[in-house]
Structure 1
Amino acid sequence: MTILVTGARGQIGRAVLTSLHAQGLPVRAASKDPSALNLPAGIQAVALRDDDPETLTAALENVRQVFLYANPATADLFVKAAEQAGVEHVVLLSSSAVDSPDAASNPIGASHLTVEKALAASTLTTTTLRPGGFDSNAFGWIPAVSAGQPIEHAYPDAALAMIHPLDIADIAVAALTGAELRGRTVKLTGPEAISFRAQIAALSEAIGREIPIAAITPAEAEAQLSRTMPPYIVKALLTIWSLTTDQPETPADTTETLLGVPARTFGQWARENAAAFTAP
C-alpha cells in the first residue's frame, strides 16, 4: 500500500520521498501546490490544503503509512481522516521543544505537543521524531557571507548538537520501512555539540575564505531576529543560546545510535552547501 509524504517540497520530506521511491516503494507526494513539485517519474503528486478538507481524504486514499509534518490546525482532522482511510502507521516530524518543562506554554513546544496528543489519542501507531536545531539553520547567514560582511551574533560560543536534515530523513525512512523504530519516540541530534564559532569556522573552510564574527548584545540580536521571526521564537532562541554558552547541549539519539551508521557532521553539511554561500 501507498506511503504518503507530506511537506514534499521541504528538504526532509523530499529526501524521504526520494529514498522510498529509490527502494521501489509506492509513494505519494503531498503539497499545498503540487504543480511546483519536480518529482521523479512514477511519483504521484496530490494537493493537501488546510482550507480544503476534501484534499486530505483524497490524499489518504489507499495509504497505510504517512510521513507527517506537524500541523496543529488540522491535527484532529488528520487523525479522523487517517483512521477512516485505514492508515496504520504515522511517522511524525515533531520537535525537541516538546521535551522542555514549559512545552505546554512554549508556542513551539505547544504546537507540536498538540499534534502528538491528537495522535496518541488515536488508534494509529505513531513513531515520533523530535529533532533539535538543524544544520541548515546556517542558511540564515547567507546574506552576510555573500556580501563579505561579518556574521553578527550575541552568543557565538553557544554549543548545540545540530542535526543534518538528511539524518532526520534517513531515520524517518527506517521507521517507515522497518520494525525497530515503529511506535517509538526519539529525540534526535547531531553527533556533537558545536558552537556557532566552530560552525562559522567550518563554513569558512568550506568556502575557502575567512568569515569574521562580530559580537553584538542580546538586545541587538533580539532586534535583528525580530525582523523575520515572531517574538516567541526570538525569545526561545536567545534563551537556549544563553544557556548553552556555559552548558553545551548533550547529544541524544543519532543515526549512529539508531541505525548504526555515522551521523553527518556540520562540516559535511558546510561542504555540501558551500555554493549557496558563494553564489553571486
Structure 2
Amino acid sequence: MYLVTGATGLIGRPLIETLLAEGAEVRAVTRDPHNAGLPAGVEAVAPEAIHTALKDVRGLFVHPRATKDSIEELLRLAASQGVEKVVVMSAINVDDDPDHQPSRFNGDRNTEVERTVTGSGLPWVAVRPGSFAMNTLGMWRGQLTLGDTVRGPYAGFAEAVIHERDVAEVIARALLDDSLVGRRIPITGPKALRLDQMVPIIGSVLGRPLLFQEVPAELAAQGMIRNGLDEGFVRALMARYQREMQRSATVTDEVEKVLGRPARTFATWVADHKGAWS
C-alpha cells in the first residue's frame, strides 16, 4: 500500500495513475474524499484520518504544500505505523539562500519539509524537480488570448522546464525501487530553452505565429503586481532572472537514469495541454 498526500494536485493525480499502472495499491489523502474524482480502486481519506490511513503503508509520498504545517506529526505517525520509506518532493533550488527561492513568497517551504524528512530517521528519497512547464500557462495564457505576442522581461533567460508526468513517474519509481533510498535526485527537462525560444514552440504546436517581445523588467514587474501577484514573489522572480542570466542553466539526465528513457520535451508538454491555451 502506498499513501499519497496532495492527491488531487498537479503531481498527485499522475502519481496515482502511475502507481496503479504498476499494480500498486493506493490510498490518497484529500480534503474532500467524496468529491475527489480519483480513479477506481483508490481509497480516498481525509487529513484528519491520517493515523488510520498510515496502517499497512509501505511507502509515503510527502507533498511539501500539503504537509508543510503537519510534517513532523505526519512522520512521527508514519514511524509508529511501520512505514518503510518516505519520498519527498522539494525543488532543485532547495539548497539556495531562502531569498533566492521565489516560491517561498507564495508560502512554499520546500527546504524545511525536505530537511524534516531526511532527518526523520526513516528511509527516504528526495526528488528535486526544476521549474514546471505548467508555469508557462500561468505566465502567458492570458496574453495569448489577446494576440500572438508575449511581452515579458529577460528574453535570454533559459531553463530546462519539466513535464509534471516525468516528475510523477520519477516519484513513483522512488516509491517502488529501494535502490534509490538515500538519494537527492535533481530532475529537469531534457534541454534548456530561452523564453524567446519557448513561445515559438508553443506557436508551432498551436499553429499560430507566436513571438516573444522583451520589455523592461520593472515594467513587467509592475504589470504582474497589478494583476494580483505578490510583490515579494515578483521581486524575487525578477532577481532570479537577472542572477541566472549570468550562468548556464541546470540540465540533468536523472529522468533518463531513473526511468530508462529521456525526459519529455517542452513541445510534448505543450501538445499534451493544447486545449488549455484557448
Q: Same fold (TM over 0.5)?
A: yes
Letter in 1 for 2:119: A
Cα pair distance change 1:242/1:157, threshold 3 Å: same
**1:245 alignment partner in structure 2:** 245
Q: Is the 8 A contact 2:99 2:236 kept in 1?
A: no
Matches of residues 204-243 of structure 1 in structure 2 within 5 Å? 204-226=203-225, 227-243=227-243
Deviation, structure 1 residue 107: 6.9
2:121 aligned with 1:127, yes or no? no
Deviation, structure 1 residue 12: 1.4
Range with greater deviation from structure 2 (111-120 or 191-200): 111-120
Unaligned runs of 5+ in 1: 49-53
**1:139 alignment partner in structure 2:** 137
Unaligned runs of 5+ in 2: none
**1:276 alignment partner in structure 2:** 276
**1:66 alignment partner in structure 2:** 60
Q: Measure, in 1, the Cα distance between the counterparts of 2:102 and 2:267.
A: 31
Q: Measure, in 1, the Cα distance between the counterparts of 2:228 and 2:56.
A: 40
**1:116 alignment partner in structure 2:** 114
**2:193 alignment partner in structure 1:** 194
Q: Is the 8 A contact 1:151 1:213 kept in 2?
A: yes
Deviation, structure 1 residue 272: 1.4
Deviation, structure 1 residue 246: 4.0
Q: Is the 8 A contact 1:132 1:163 kept in 2?
A: yes
Q: Secondary structure at the match of 1:167?
A: helix
Q: Is the 8 A contact 1:104 1:113 kept in 2?
A: no
Deviation, structure 1 residue 135: 0.7
Range with greater deviation from structure 2 (88-97 or 109-118): 109-118
**2:49 alignment partner in structure 1:** 55
Q: TM-score, normalised by structure 1?
A: 0.89
Deviation, structure 1 residue 125: 0.9
The count of residues paired between Structure 1 and Structure 2 equals 271
Q: Measure, in 1, the Cα distance between the counterparts of 2:271 and 2:50.
A: 38
Q: Secondary structure at the match of 2:109?
A: helix
Matches of residues 164-183 of structure 1 in structure 2 within 5 Å? 164-183=163-182
Q: Is the 8 A contact 2:89 2:114 kept in 1?
A: no
Cα pair distance change 1:112/1:192, threshold 3 Å: same
2:76 corresponds to which of 80, 95, 101: 80
Q: Secondary structure at the match of 2:257?
A: helix
Letter in 2 for 1:232: G
Letter in 2 for 1:165: E
Cα pair distance change 1:236/1:252, threshold 3 Å: farther
Deviation, structure 1 residue 108: 4.2
Q: Percent identity?
A: 32
**1:256 alignment partner in structure 2:** 256
**1:33 alignment partner in structure 2:** 32
